[in-house]
Chains A and B, each alone.
Chain A
């Protein structure tokens, strides 16, 4: 396959649409470990995509292949339809924010931010100076140009790293857990700033994180990775409300997953035998499981209703359990419940739940239609 190394773009030519990225069945092995396993993904130009997954799931390895620091063992990578296998990292028109920022310690903030413009060439001194000042303004560090990275706080360093990464308006921006080293408040604040920067520079952002709320908040597309493979790639709403696998549901946080066997799947509604005991109805959405298949039933904590008496409505399912713990959050309370050995979580409005206390026997109820049946993912060997 012939690769045309595309010319390094002239730097700092103002906002420009990002590149379309296509990962075509790329794999990377380190010895016996398959860090990335036939990952295919299409990332639209100018979008914000998050790679989300637990430690060791292959997020950084994927990012490093996009950057060109690692060469895929198999598969091909395309920028705007062009294969980039033979394009060196410095010619890929990429900006990058590293987890530890990797600011050059021997240069001032100004020189750090000017670095990409100088290294790419094509701009004269005055133009570079103007771009750097604009960029420092954008990340609210206009007065910090003469400082060295050591003389900045964590949040300020993060913003310098961000400024350096976008100053040349690269068509792709890679971010490897850029907020991982910061405390919660700062992270929330900087998420907003990253969003703003994404809107104003228009590059394609690929953002690695293992914080699901960060991914949900920032992205157009969330890619959940597990053991080197893509478990699911969807928009944030779908990934949260309609996870395709138990792993995704669990990773998105706080879900109740009830293991079950499919008893009947003939009608529009499935009948499930819960392993903890009890037979319930569940909606058949997506691909239909077979009779006898092992599945998980997902009940979101916010979809749970707590009742004292068995509900009359046949659409409402219920399990009897005892209250383990009541946690008060102002507007809502979170209940931990024990249903014959399985720990369940419910989030209910605080108003009208004043009487609940630990040890009490209650019914854990949900509307049949609000639950989801999740099939285990089976990979082709």
Chain B
């Protein structure tokens, strides 16, 4: 009976879906190009490549230089993510649950940390680190990336906390938990998706960040982003595409993990 209405609705939806697909294609196209080129069988960058191979992956994965860059990126990213959670989690609780004078200003400052031009961050951190001897150290770069990682954690966690029903925590307390026990057994598990997503963001922004990394860790040991950038200037062969693809794979794996976790919670 209601088939005609159904039909007309899907007709109206068709252009909309087309638009969405187009914008998605626009966003994903560069990624596709990089991934395709990384499997190229040729010695120069061309798209589409005339032949395919995995030779560039073998190149990269067996090169000590690239391996070192990967390893640095992972260490910096993991450390930055942990530091961001360590600072961002309590900060989010304070922001959402306490009455703090000047809360609005604090929240604006958080956003400012996100949109400060990275070149300014890089320069000022470089100058700040020089006397401390923190330039060219994993800890130094991780701390630098924590500056941007913390707002990611705070934004995600405070969004979860705002949607959290305080009665749940009260229910835990009235039925025998201490305040801390209620946090551990009820609040934290329930807002865990927000914490995980914030942590993943903090890691990924560190892994892909170039400008600050160039200043702080650009000369001796280089993280992946810096190494990529330098390789482009020296030689243009598909190994950089392969390295980029691995970076993308990082991101995809991290997001799939985060979404699976979130999806399982939603089922619960």
Contact = CB atoms under 8 A, between A and B. Distances in A.
Contact-size category for A: 20 to 34
B28 to A, nearest CB: 34
Nearest to A176: B167
A95 B174 CA distance: 7
A168 B268 contact: no
A102 B170 contact: yes
A144 B165 CA distance: 24
Interface string A62-106: 000001110000000000000000001110101110101011111
A204 to B, nearest CB: 15
B186 interface: yes
A150 interface: yes
B186 A104 contact: yes
B172 interface: yes
Given A102-B167, A102-B171, A150-B268, A119 B176 contact: yes
Nearest to A104: B186
Nearest to A150: B268
B173 A105 contact: no
Contacts of B171: 96, 98, 102-104, 164
A115 interface: yes
Most buried by A among B168, B176, B265: B176
B43 interface: no
A18 interface: no
Contact of A119 (B165, B168, B181): B181
Contact of A116 (B167, B176, B181): B176
A90 B177 contact: yes
B189 interface: yes
A148 interface: yes
Interface string B136-174: 000000000000000000000000000001011011111
A120 B168 contact: no
A167 to B, nearest CB: 9
A8 interface: yes
B173 A90 contact: yes
B171 to A, nearest CB: 4
Given A105-B190, A106-B190, A168 B265 contact: no
B189 to A, nearest CB: 5
B268 A119 contact: no
Nearest to A119: B176
Contacts, number: 74
Interface in B160-209: 165, 167-168, 170-178, 181, 185-186, 189-190
A106 to B, nearest CB: 5
A90 B190 contact: no
A94 B186 contact: no
Contacts of A165: 175
Most buried by B among A92, A119, A165: A119
B175 A119 contact: yes
B167 A164 contact: no
B80 to A, nearest CB: 28
B175 A164 contact: yes
A253 B177 CA distance: 41
A69 to B, nearest CB: 6
A101 to B, nearest CB: 8
Contact of B175 (A69, A95, A100): A95
Interface in A114-170: 115-116, 119-121, 148, 150, 164-165, 168
Nearest to B190: A106
Contacts of B265: 106
B165 A102 contact: yes
Contacts of A174: 174
B268 A89 contact: no
Given A106-B268, A150-B268, A8 B168 contact: no
Nearest to A93: B176
Nearest to B177: A119
B267 to A, nearest CB: 8
Contacts of B168: 102, 104-105
Nearest to A167: B175
Contacts of B190: 104-106
Contacts of A150: 268
Contacts of A8: 176
Contacts of B173: 69, 88-90
B195 to A, nearest CB: 13
Contacts of A148: 267-268
Interface of B: 165, 167-168, 170-178, 181, 185-186, 189-190, 265, 267-268
The 4 closest A-B pairs by CB, nearest first: A119-B176, A116-B175, A120-B176, A102-B167
Given A90-B175, A102-B171, A164-B171, 4 more contacts: A96-B170, A120-B176, A121-B176, A174-B174
Interface of A: 8, 11, 67-69, 88-90, 92, 94-96, 98, 100, 102-106, 115-116, 119-121, 148, 150, 164-165, 168, 174
22 contacts: A11-B176, A67-B174, A68-B174, A69-B173, A69-B174, A90-B178, A94-B174, A95-B175, A100-B165, A102-B171, A105-B168, A105-B190, A106-B186, A115-B175, A115-B176, A116-B175, A119-B172, A119-B177, A120-B175, A121-B176, A148-B267, A165-B175
